[in-house]
């Protein structure tokens, strides 16, 4: 178990820089999720920590040791891959034991650790099977088992759940979280799925185009997103963005509607309101022309446009609700639920 420090980390392929000066302190036992759209550099970052990609500049420390030049095998890490990457010609037992055998650990010790991991992951009945005889979820567990038996300082997960079906994914998500809490191993988990990120991580690192947009707890990211990118990425359905002008605490929307409590900003801003923070109020200032209602049971999603404009909006209302297309409904933002962002840079403006 160890802390991880990323200092001024840069990765470039030739002249193209794909990761720009990434900084991060990860403390011992923490579960960090790196999240972002595909191509944002999150896998590259993970592979750099694993030692599968070289570091262009900056340092990576695991514990107190700078590991930039160390081989993956010498970094005391274990990695779970998206495709499981099990050795196809070895049984489940051999798959888990192979890394230990290479490290010349005694036979008894290997057997003990493999059995222990098999018990934790409920893999005991499958120990003698080959990977191709297992289902996706079982293969994923074997891949986890291979990581656990090594007893490493750091777990690295590279989108481990994206090949599983939706139900299994939810179940495995919980299992991974429980397992990590039980073992207390520092973990870095890469995903593009924001729900996975929110539920798993102690802290989230949101990457976009190779830049760290924000690094904080899920609730921080949800409540106080640092940029429009984070605001739009975290939370589902995504936040509504409305261009507006602010003066003296009053925001004026594109269609002339006026909202109070817009904070200290001045001039052109982007106003963000989460779909779940709009409360129905016939006299409310935010008027939406309904186009479609999605009934999800627990809540209803109302898709439409801000009245008189072309700005798409989504509103989430608890319970059942129906509305014909074309009706106009009024909403009022909940208290303190307005987010203001600089219109050009997209940076958050604190109220």
Partner 1 sequence: MNKARSNPLNTVMMHGALILYTLIALFPVFVILINSFKTRKAIFREPLALPDADSFSTIGYETVMKQGDFFLYFQNSMVVTVASLFFVLLFGAMAAYALSEYRFRGNMLMGLYLALGIMIPIRIGTVAILEMMVATGLVNTLWALILVYTAQGLPLAVFILSEFMRQVSDDLKNAGRIDGLSEYTIFFRLVLPLVRPAMATVAVFNMIPIWNDLWFPLILAPAEETKTLTLGSQVFIGQFVTDWNAVLSALSMAILPVLILYVIFSRQLIRGITSGAVK
Q: Is 153 left (phi over 0), alpha (psi -120 to 50) or beta?
A: alpha
Q: How far is the CB of 126 from partner 1 (least distance, A)?
A: 13
Q: How far is the CB of 77 from partner 1 (least distance, A)?
A: 7
Q: Which of 56, 68, 82, 289 forms a contact with partner 1 (CB under 8 A)?
A: 82
- Segment lying near partner 1 (by CB under 8 A), choices 28-36, 69-77, 182-190, 261-269: 69-77
- The answer to whether residue 249 forms part of the interface with partner 1 (CB under 8 A) is no
Q: Which of 1, 52, 61, 323 forms a contact with partner 1 (CB under 8 A)?
A: 52
What residues from 135 to 164 belong to the interface with partner 1 (CB under 8 A)?
136, 139, 146, 150, 158, 163
- The answer to whether residue 56 forms part of the interface with partner 1 (CB under 8 A) is no
Tokens in use for 264?
A: 């200290």
CB-count exposure of residue 125 (10 Å: 0-12, 13-18, 19+): exposed
- The answer to whether residue 98 forms part of the interface with partner 1 (CB under 8 A) is yes
- Binding mask 10-49 toward partner 1 (x if CB under 8 A, else -) reads -------------------------------------x--
- Segment lying near partner 1 (by CB under 8 A), choices 80-88, 106-114, 190-198, 299-307: 80-88
Q: Which strand (E) or helix (H) includes residue 223?
A: helix 218-223
Q: What is the sign of the dihedral through the CA atoms of 43, 41, 235 and 339?
A: positive
What's the helix, strand, coil split of the chain in %, to 5?
30, 35, 35
Distances (CA, A) of 313 to 132, 316, 342: 46, 10, 20
- The answer to whether residue 54 forms part of the interface with partner 1 (CB under 8 A) is no
- Segment lying near partner 1 (by CB under 8 A), choices 74-82, 107-115, 249-257, 325-333: 74-82
Give Rg (Cα) of the chain.
24
Q: How far is the CB of 163 from partner 1 (least distance, A)?
A: 5
- Give the DSSP per-residue string, 287-335: EEEEEEEEE-SSEEEEEEEETTS--EEEEEEES-----TT-EEEEEEPT
């Amino acid at each position: 178990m160890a802390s991880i420090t990323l200092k001024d980390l840069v990765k470039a392929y030739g002249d193209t820089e794909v990761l720009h000066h990434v900084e991060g302190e990860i403390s011992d036992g923490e579960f960090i999720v790196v999240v972002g759209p595909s191509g944002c550099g999150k896998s590259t970052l993970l592979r750099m920590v694993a030692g599968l990609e070289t570091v262009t500049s900056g340092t990576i420390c695991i514990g107190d040791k700078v590991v930039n030049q160390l081989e993956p095998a010498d970094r005391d890490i274990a990695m779970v891959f998206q495709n499981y990457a099990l050795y196809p010609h070895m049984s489940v037992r051999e798959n888990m034991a192979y890394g230990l055998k290479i490290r010349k650990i005694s036979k008894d010790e290997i057997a003990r650790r493999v059995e222990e991991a098999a018990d934790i992951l409920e893999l005991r009945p499958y120990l003698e099977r080959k990977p191709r005889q297992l289902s996706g979820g079982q293969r994923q567990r074997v891949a986890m088992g291979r990581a656990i038996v090594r007893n490493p300082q750091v777990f690295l997960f590279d989108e481990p759940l994206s090949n599983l079906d939706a139900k299994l994914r939810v179940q495995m998500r919980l299992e991974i979280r429980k397992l990590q809490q039980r073992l207390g191993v520092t973990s870095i988990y890469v995903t593009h799925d924001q729900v996975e990120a929110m539920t798993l991580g102690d802290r989230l690192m949101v990457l976009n185009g190779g830049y760290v947009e924000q690094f904080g707890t899920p609730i921080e990211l949800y409540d106080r997103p640092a940029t429009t990118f984070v605001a739009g990425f975290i939370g589902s359905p995504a936040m509504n963005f409305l261009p507006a002008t602010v003066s003296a605490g009053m925001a004026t929307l594109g269609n002339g509607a006026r909202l109070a409590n817009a904070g200290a900003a001045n001039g052109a801003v982007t106003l963000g309101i989460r779909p779940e923070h709009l409360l129905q109020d016939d006299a409310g200032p935010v008027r939406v022309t309904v186009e479609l209602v999605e009934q999800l049971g627990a809540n209803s999603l109302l898709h439409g446009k801000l009245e008189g404009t072309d700005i798409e909006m989504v509103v989430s209302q608890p319970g059942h609700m129906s509305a014909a297309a074309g009706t106009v409904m009024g909403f009022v933002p909940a208290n303190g639920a307005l987010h203001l962002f600089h219109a050009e840079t997209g940076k958050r403006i604190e109220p």
